[in-house]
Structure 1
């Protein structure tokens, strides 16, 4: 029986799950700001692997927000992970693919997942794919955790300067970041600043739920951005294409979810909750053949014959 290790690698956390044994192990995530990104990702996988005392596997499939940018980096990461896990095959894809597989049980349609960033993948029945947004915290991921958190902190700094409205986010920021003195400088120089800033997203959502006007505006804008992303993706597949919503910020009881649903309803768009997580999607893809719905999105490395 094929033994598969699934890796869900984000900026907030990296999770490992094996098809050969129960349990999930999570360690700190990795961003592209952390020097040698491929070595950092491989090191995080090794840490989780050792902590979980996993048995050797035949294949590793990795869904990453920090997917390599070139073939040499793909091969280097695969070799490092293979050395840790004993796997003779390592499959690497952007986490949009594994999120989609989990959300839609590896069937055609659109998945929209929000965490630190945004993962939206549209897949047609013939296997054609299109990614919408997911352009990273510097250039996109509109409506995601970093997007919300950074705008919330920016609103706090503007209020402190006298350039913006008074907001309860100021008190929340002081509590979360141990004061406001030199806040911008401290965040710029923080370890894993993307994750640190994205954690403020929940404070923005909480403040909006409590009626703070500034936070409410940020959340409304986030919901509208996610709606635009979903609308474009669904239109590309088909008007009646299934749309699955998932990710930690789009849970059924979150304000962001409720606002997004309002936008979708205004256009008569239907949706469903994600069937499963990106980690479950990775296991689903990795347990099958390489000739699957996501084949154009997966870099396959094989020991002795790297692709």
Structure 2
């Protein structure tokens, strides 16, 4: 059974991401954890917080969270009454990234699915602040769905990566399953100015080949100095339903996610973005 966390702030973008997840895994046995972390709501409420009223304001926030979670769950079940899916609503007086991190560790979660933005929905930003934190710090795969993206069967998957470090079988296996379920093509995109791989890179490439041996796969090498521009150009010129990258220590993606200038660098996401985390897990 797949275990998937669905963070929500009850925005349209969050619900759209939930709908995508429910549709994507409609043929799988899944347990979905619909999570609302409301600590920020407490301190951003219209009520002036004091020591005397903090408990009451927090209690009200919890009650509102539970009400909206139940409404969201009802909506999801009406849209997709799938007997293979079961749901658990979770309300937490915590910061979202910390709560997701705890749930991932405690429940051995397979995937987090969320929208690119929350209620604030600043269209000038590639990711909202909560989404960016989850992408940076959560130790499991994260699937991010852009605002208004209408579900499309993922037939064309672009997996942009280098071969410099070993990969994790669990995460590549998860991607392989998705591709198999939809008979999708996986294009492994390698951006480099070098024409020849080192022995270590060849070994890591072989590991990917073995991980995707049951999938339709092609390996594509593109010459380019600016990785973002090269990936964007490739995606714009090739049908792409899902863009996949790996986040790990000192990786290209980590460097982007940790820079304040991420949005000035032109990483625009208008298709589902699947980030794998290159870490050892159970």
Q: TM-score, normalised by structure 1?
A: 0.24
Q: TM-score, normalised by structure 2?
A: 0.25
Tell me which of the two structures has the higher relative contact order, counting C-alpha pairs closer than 8 angstroms and 6 or more residues apart. Answer: 1
